[in-house]
Amino acid sequence: MAESSMKTSTREFADVTRDETSLRRFLHGLPGVDAVGVEQRSAGLGTRSIKKASKMHAIDLAISMVDLTTLEGADTPGKVRSLCAKARRPDPDRPEVPKVAAVCVYPDMVETAVAEVSGTGVGVASVATAFPSGRSSLRIKIADTEFAVEAGATEIDMVIDRGAFLSGQYGRVFDEIRTIKAACGNARLKVILETGELATYDNVRRASWLALLAGGDFIKTSTGKVSPAATLPVTHVMLQAVHDWHAATGEPRGVKPAGGIRTTKDAIRYLVAVNEVAGPRWLDPRLFRFGASSLLNDLLMQRRTQLEGHYSGPDYVTVD
């Protein structure tokens, strides 16, 4: 896109966020999502098969896109250290297996994770802003974010106030995202929409654009604590949003489906969607992630199967 066009688009978006009325007009002026169409397209892309050589590449790419996650009340420093060891070297017997993109932990576990992955290129993501409900004051959410960043988090996964969004308080949600973005400093911000609570594809599209307008570096489907979590049709809508944002501004933003993606077959379906909807540029850990805990196990087992010609069960990899 020409520089003058990008400047025009940026100025137009600044006008969009000038006040609540302008923001509402823009979000409700977005084209409606054809629910039948997006579900049929998702189903069609999900049936595509790929050749063995391409499957190996897809598996390695998917491994490199994983945010290896533990978000349980019973998390301990020992569990986080084990998670980080797996993130650094997913298959100890095969050093050529790529490391994952990041580990994702609660803020109080960030310091432990940072010490374990320092110098490896594995990022440390931390959930913040009263995860998973988002039900707290803005002051607490800022403090939560700053605590994680000061401990060394390179990425922050924040949750939006779904109650505010669903009641039409778009300006409040926008201001909160923008404030947390500022609190992130140099850390990248992933904005969790919790799509399972948004009810419609139109709401997912509006929430995606709202997060992009407010400065989110990634839009993320889910906390993993609400069902349904990530789905292919919802991810299609979000991929289309970042594609359209890039077309309008020249700025690439990322997408992170999280929750319920457990198998290699699932992961490859998502990669096909990324390529077809957003474009091949998004086949990169800087622009697409999987939020997962058990997915990595299946990717490693299927990778061994591709190399050895027979199924490698869980005895051959560390299973979380």
Catalytic positions, please? 157, 220, 256
Phi first, then psi, for residue 289 (nearest 5°) are -135, 155
Name the residue with tokens 């359209």.
244
* Cα distance between residue 255 and residue 268, in whole Å: 15
* Cα distance between residue 146 and residue 150, in whole Å: 6
Name the residue with tokens 């299946």.
298
- The answer to whether the CB of 67 falls within 8 A of the CB of 100 is yes
Q: Is 192 helix (H, G, I), strand (E, B) or coil?
A: strand
Residue length, the chain?
320
Q: Is 50 helix (H, G, I), strand (E, B) or coil?
A: coil
Instruction: Count how many Cα atoms sit within 13 Å of the Cα of residue 229 in the half-sphere of its side chain.
Output: 17
Selection from 169, 161, 170 nearest residue 133 by Cα: 161
Phi first, then psi, for residue 311 (nearest 5°) are -70, 130
CA distances from 139 to 25, 142, 146, 215 (A): 29, 5, 11, 19
CA distances from 73 to 76, 108, 109, 131, 224 (A): 9, 11, 11, 12, 14
